[in-house]
Amino acid sequence: MNLLWCLIYICLIGVEAWSDNKRRKFSNDFKFGVSTSAYQVEGAWNVDGKGESIWDRYFHDNPNVITDGRNGDEACDSYHKYKRDVEMLRELGVDYYRFSISWPRVLPSGFPNEQNKLGFQYYDNLIDELLKYNIMPMVTLYHFDLPQKLQDLGGWANPHSVDWFVDYVRVVFDRYASKVKHWITINQPNSICTSAYGETAMTPDLNKGITEYQCTKNILLAHAMAYRLYQKEYKNKYKGSVGISMSLNWADPVDNSTENVEATEVFRGFNIDLFLNPIWSKNGDFPSIVKKIVAEKSKQQGFSKSRLPVLSPEEIELLRGSADFLGVNHYTTDLVKASAKYIHSPSFENDVGVEIVLDEKRNQSQPSWLRSAPYGLYKLCIYINQNYDYPTIYITENGWSTKTGLWDRSRVENMRLYLNALLLAIEDGTTVKGYTVWSLMDNVEWQAGTSERFGLYEVDFDSRYKKRTARMSALVYKRIIQSRIVEKDWEPRNLYISSQY
Ligand code: GBH
């Protein structure tokens, strides 16, 4: 009898070991990183010759739009605290740091005739500090903070913005191509055009309804020209890669009614394919569903031609294949309902014609738009693979917001669930090279100020030194990076309180 129990016991150990081996793991060459953006962390908004950005102007003129009144004038003061930032990256053990360069900090007028030495010095220092510790810099060239002087000329609605961007990018490539091997041209052009030039959730809040597709065309061309510039003049020598990050949440119909299923297809057309199709599809160009809808509506609205500009055959070619990787910024899954409740006409929203319904059953973070729905990341990956033939992907943003507090269990849980969904997507054929948490630390969350905290590190914005302290999620992420597996319930016993400056 004893022998039998013994045998059963041995078998159980065997099964456990076997299932352990089956445990999903991130491969050794998979990279982990964290992300921030210039306006949200640097502060020093008018220090050392930095020019004014559209967010400086917007928040100074409209302090009331910020939930808690805290704008980016000081933010995390990373302009002065970059050594501490790199120390945190070392604590986490990340492979790379995704940050952005502030265009008005280095070219205060927006144009390359005036180059701000001290502004460049900051990025020299940051990049050198990263390289010193073997942390790869992944540089976003543009994360929402246009020089105000260029906005005064129409910003991305002006076709000259393509040249302005390329001129700026050339200066940056010249200076950093030898050190930076991972480039992202533009962060979320789809948010920029549809929010800032369409709805009102972002500055500059221009000519609602008329300019969002002009912005779309110009910003995509600006990206493609920057990509081609790198290919032509830097790629052979420096062997880096250049991609673009899109805001890519998943969308499902709120129920199975034909109306809502169709509305969801339209929604995906405008929010995903409008920006992916020109770069990743075989034939290029804007997706036909979007062309059709905008043309029809424009006609009804009295326009002589579609508000969606035409891409010439040369522009289609320029855009097609103009990225080494797709940066996916993914936070949640929207539930879509067909709706005639339009805010105004003409507008992007009116063209799409849907309403987003919140799923009350899902876990909610601070802002109402952010609900945990990890399966959506899996579905998005499969959708991208099927429609765009398995592009190389970096998840360039994924994250969760909380109130202040170091024991951020909801962030840990959300991160684990999304990483598990990513492992499944990889197992099913998605080419994902890296995963990036938004964000390294709490920062200025645009209009939400510091009322929403996305950081693995908490920032005490009232303290003189903008003290950063590791949250529970920082330690869990560190352990995931080390072990390359996602444990179900490991918790640190104590929070390691890192240095106090
Ligand atoms: C990212 O965008 C940004 O790249 C990053 O800078 C930011 O810190 C991060 O999100 C966290 O918010 O307030 O209901 O109008 C993600 C896509 C699009 C999500 C705009 C928030 C506003 C929703 N974002 N959206 S609402």
pLDDT in tens, 29-78: 999 999 999 999 999 999 999 999 999 999 999 999 999 999 999 999 99
Nearest atom of ligand 1 to the alpha carbon of 249: 17
* Residues with catalytic function: 98, 188, 191, 329, 331, 397
Q: Which atom of ligand 1 sits closest to the CA of residue 448?
A: 13
Closest CA to 128 of 184, 172, 91, 176: 176
Is the Cβ atom of 260 under 6 angstroms away from ligand 1? no
> Distance (Å, rounded) from C-alpha 101 to C-alpha 38?
6
Is the CB–ligand 1 distance for residue 401 below 6 Å?
Answer: no
Q: Does a structural domain hold residue 490? A: no
Residue 113 covered by a domain = yes
Residue 62 carries which side chain, given as an amino acid letter? N
Q: How far is the CA of 172 from the centre of ligand 1 (A)?
A: 26
Check which CATH number belongs to the domain holding 19 and give it: 3.20.20.80
For 37, 105, 274, 322, 414, the CA distances from 48, given in Å and listed in that order, are: 19, 9, 40, 35, 40
Q: Is 201 in the pocket of ligand 1 (CB under 6 A)?
A: yes
Angle in degrees, 0-180, between the axes of helices 117-132 and 161-176, rounded to the nearest 10? 50
Calculate how far, in angstroms, residue 76's C-alpha sits from the geometric centre of ligand 1. Answer: 19
Going by alpha carbons, the residue nearest to atom 12 of ligand 1 is 445
Pocket test for ligand 1, best of 397, 402, 446 (most atoms within 8 A of CB): 397
Q: Are 106 and 146 in contact (CB under 8 A)?
A: no
Query: What is the distance in A from the centroid of ligand 1 to the CA of 189?
Result: 12
Count up the domains in the chain and report the number.
1
Over its length of 501 residues, how does the chain's per-residue pLDDT go in tens digits? 566 666 666 656 555 555 555 689 999 999 999 999 999 999 999 999 999 999 999 999 999 999 999 999 999 999 999 999 999 999 999 999 999 999 999 999 999 999 999 999 999 999 999 999 999 999 999 999 999 999 999 999 999 999 999 999 999 999 999 999 999 999 999 999 988 777 666 777 665 667 899 999 999 999 999 999 999 999 999 999 999 999 999 999 999 999 999 999 999 999 999 999 999 999 999 999 999 999 999 999 999 999 999 999 999 999 999 999 999 999 999 999 999 876 678 889 899 999 999 888 888 777 778 999 999 999 999 999 999 999 999 999 999 999 999 999 999 999 999 999 999 999 999 999 999 999 999 999 999 999 999 999 999 999 999 999 999 999 999 999 999 999 999 999 877 655 443
Report the nearest-CA residue for atom 11 of ligand 1: 445
Separation of CA 312 and ligand 1 centre (Å): 32
Any domain includes 99: yes
CB 43 within 8 A of CB 72: yes
Q: Is the CB of 211 under 6 A from ligand 1?
A: no
Instruction: Specify the amino acid at residue 468.
Output: R
What's CA 124's distance to the chain center, in Å?
23
Domain assignment of residue 37, given as a range: 3-483
Alpha carbon distance 245, 243 (integer Å): 7
Distance 247 CA to ligand 1 centre (A): 8
For residues 290 and 233, give the distance between their C-alpha atoms in angstroms, rounded to a whole number: 35
Domain assignment of residue 175, yes or no: yes
Per the domain annotation, does 500 fall within a domain? no
Cα–Cα distances (Å) from 94 to 114, 176, 481, in that order, read 35, 21, 7
Q: Is the CB of 438 under 6 A from ligand 1?
A: yes
User: Does the Cβ of 247 fall within 6 Å of ligand 1?
Assistant: yes
197 lies in a domain?
A: yes
Which atom of ligand 1 sits closest to the CA of residue 144?
Answer: 6
Counting atoms of ligand 1 from 1, which one is nearest the CA of 247?
17
**Which atom of ligand 1 lies nearest, measured to the CA of 329?**
16
Ligand 1 and 191: CB distance under 6 A: yes
d(C-alpha 42, C-alpha 40), whole Å: 6
Residues 259-314 pLDDT 10s: 999 999 999 999 999 999 999 999 999 999 999 999 999 999 999 999 999 999 99
Q: Is any atom of ligand 1 closer than 6 Å to the C-beta of 286?
A: no
pTM of the model: 0.94
Report how far ligand 1's centroid is from the alpha carbon of 203 (Å): 13
499 falls within a domain = no
Residue nearest to atom 8 of ligand 1 (CA): 445
For ligand 1, atom 21, the nearest C-alpha belongs to 369
| Rounded Cα gap, residues 387 and 282, in angstroms | 10
- Any ligand 1 atom below 6 A from CB of 331: yes
Residue 447 lies in a domain: yes
Q: How close is the Cα of 191 to the center of ligand 1, in Å?
A: 8
Query: Which residues are paired to 252 by β-bridges?
Result: 335
Report H helices in 62-200.
78-92, 103-106, 117-132, 148-151, 161-176, 189-191
CA–CA separation, 456 vs 476, rounded Å? 10
